[in-house]
Amino acid sequence: MRLRTLVWREIFERKSQLATSFLAILLGITVIVSIKNITFYSEKAVSREMDSLGANVLILPKSATLQDYYAADMQGDTIPREYIDQLALSNLEGLDNVSPKLSVPVELKGLKFHLTGILPKKEFQAKAAWQGAGIFSRPIGCGAMPTLPFAPGDNKTLVRQRVVEDLEKDEALVGSDVASALGISEGQSLELLGQAFRVTAVLPQTGTIDDSRIFAHLDRVQELSGKGDVINAIEVIGCCQEISNGLVSKINKLLPDAKVVTITQIADAQIKMNRLMSRLSMIFLVIIVFVGGAGIANYMYANVFERRREIGTLMALGAHSSLILRIFLLKALLLGLTGGIGGYLLGTVLAATLGPKLAGVPVLPMPILFLWALGISIGLALLSSYFPARRAAKLDPCATFQEL
């Protein structure tokens, strides 16, 4: 005979009464785990989608507007290039990618285009529209989707990445409109502002102003345009979660002489969805705490009442009040443990099954949710059972013997 034998036997003796409490905790944990699991992968998927739309934070000169930016950032004002260094050296979290740009007008064969200076890798990583075309590798960071076994791979991405990273100062990338208007293809040369450039790639059509851009190295564009060490804009891919946590105001504080704007329509969609999901899981958490907790407490009080003679007998046989307390708390612990494990398994299966149908995303098990599930279910079971257990421990043994 051990304490656990005493508890275990009682559970099995009255298992039908325990079933309701167990079901309450099991279903509660199942729902929370499945929502959290689906939410996690849904957020990642939306983040990736957001990423594919390009930069979501812009750093512009004070006088510039978003319209200026969309009109090929051809505003007259500039900001110092050293802002890039300031951002790089700051301890700001959530900057997934930073891409400076300087644009100047150029004329070729009587046609007007934009020569845009970029810092190769960063600029290209920010241009997610191109990534969608499979040219560049994904940036690693908050917006990146973990590699799923069934995610489609793209050989082209790796092949072309080298080109981007190796962009030399006499190399240029041309937008699709530029290429078709001038009849240029890869490997040909063109002269811009008195300097010859070799076209290393013709970019796929994006349907944006970028189609009429010619990209070259930022250093060379600065040098040829005679504008000095300045840029027109810095495109930032910020983590949406960090944006909602005040990334913009933090950048504003760091760069007080610049204008920092979010592409709110895009960021808001993400933030709203994230908030909806997290509110939903919070609502379920509150429901399980109140309904599940009340159910367990109610069951435990009834159990104490039903077992008062048994408790009195144990006390008459010499049981201390602490032992009675432990009997009920151990039972609560077992209830929480089994409810938590069962809820995690069921919730994970549910998420993996329903996730692709409901949220359109593949969902994989998340071991961290196992700790979550156990923490909530055991904590709730112990907390709900504490007062009934204490009542049992304080029972007057005399009152339990009606026949005496």
Q: Hey, what are 207's tokens?
A: 């349907």
H or E stretch at 132: helix 128-132
Q: Hey, what are 349's tokens?
A: 């299966």
Q: Which stretch binds another protein (CB under 8 A): 157-165, 192-200, 318-326, 349-357?
A: 318-326
Q: For the window 369-398, what string marks contact with another protein as x by the rule CB under 8 A?
A: ----------------------------xx
Is 74 a binder of another protein (CB under 8 A)? no
Footprint on residues 11-30 left by another protein (CB under 8 A): 12-14
* Angle at 30 (CA atoms; ends 28, 32), nearest 5 degrees: 70
Is 318 a binder of another protein (CB under 8 A)? yes
70, 290, 387, 401: which one binds another protein (CB under 8 A): 401
- Residues 6+ positions from 332 with CB-CB distance below 8 Å: 296, 300, 381, 382, 384, 385, 386, 389
74, 202, 323, 352: which one binds another protein (CB under 8 A): 323
As a dihedral over the C-alpha atoms of residue 181, residue 186, residue 189, residue 192, rounded to 10 degrees, the angle is 60
Is 80 a binder of another protein (CB under 8 A)? no
Cα gap 257→235, rounded to integer Å = 16
Cα gap 187→334, rounded to integer Å = 71
- At 192 the three-state DSSP class reads strand
- At 97 the three-state DSSP class reads strand
26, 46, 128, 315: which one binds another protein (CB under 8 A): 315
Q: Please report how close the Cβ of residue 12 comes to another protein at its closest, in angstroms.
A: 7
Number of residues that bind another protein (CB under 8 A): 29
Cα gap 157→138, rounded to integer Å = 9
Cα gap 248→259, rounded to integer Å = 10
320, 368, 371, 375: which one binds another protein (CB under 8 A): 320
66, 148, 282, 316: which one binds another protein (CB under 8 A): 316
Q: Which stretch binds another protein (CB under 8 A): 5-13, 148-156, 215-223, 373-381?
A: 5-13
5, 16, 67, 155: which one binds another protein (CB under 8 A): 5
Q: CB-wise, 8 or 301, nearer to another protein? A: 8
Q: CB-wise, 89 or 317, nearer to another protein? A: 317
Cα gap 139→144, rounded to integer Å = 7
CB atoms within 10 A of CB 22: 22
DSSP E strand boundaries for 223-279:
230-231, 233-238, 258-262
Q: CB-wise, 2 or 357, nearer to another protein? A: 2
Q: What is the DSSP string of 14-41?
A: THHHHHHHHHHHHHHHHHHHHHHHHHHH
Residues in the chain: 404
Cα gap 10→327, rounded to integer Å = 10
Q: Please report how close the Cβ of residue 275 comes to another protein at its closest, in angstroms.
A: 49
Q: CB-wise, 271 or 323, nearer to another protein? A: 323
Q: CB-wise, 229 or 306, nearer to another protein? A: 306
16, 149, 317, 357: which one binds another protein (CB under 8 A): 317
End-to-end, the C-alpha distance of the chain in Å comes to 28
Q: Please report how close the Cβ of residue 367 comes to another protein at its closest, in angstroms.
A: 37
- Residues 6+ positions from 247 with CB-CB distance below 8 Å: 57, 92, 93, 94, 95, 238, 239
Q: CB-wise, 74 or 323, nearer to another protein? A: 323
Is 150 a binder of another protein (CB under 8 A)? no
Is 4 a binder of another protein (CB under 8 A)? no
Is 6 a binder of another protein (CB under 8 A)? yes
Is 403 a binder of another protein (CB under 8 A)? yes
161, 241, 245, 313: which one binds another protein (CB under 8 A): 313
Footprint on residues 250-309 left by another protein (CB under 8 A): 309
Q: For the window 39-58, what string marks contact with another protein as x by the rule CB under 8 A?
A: --------------------
Q: CB-wise, 318 or 360, nearer to another protein? A: 318
Where does this chain bind another protein (CB under 8 A)? 1-3, 5-6, 9-10, 12-14, 309-310, 312-323, 397-398, 401, 403-404
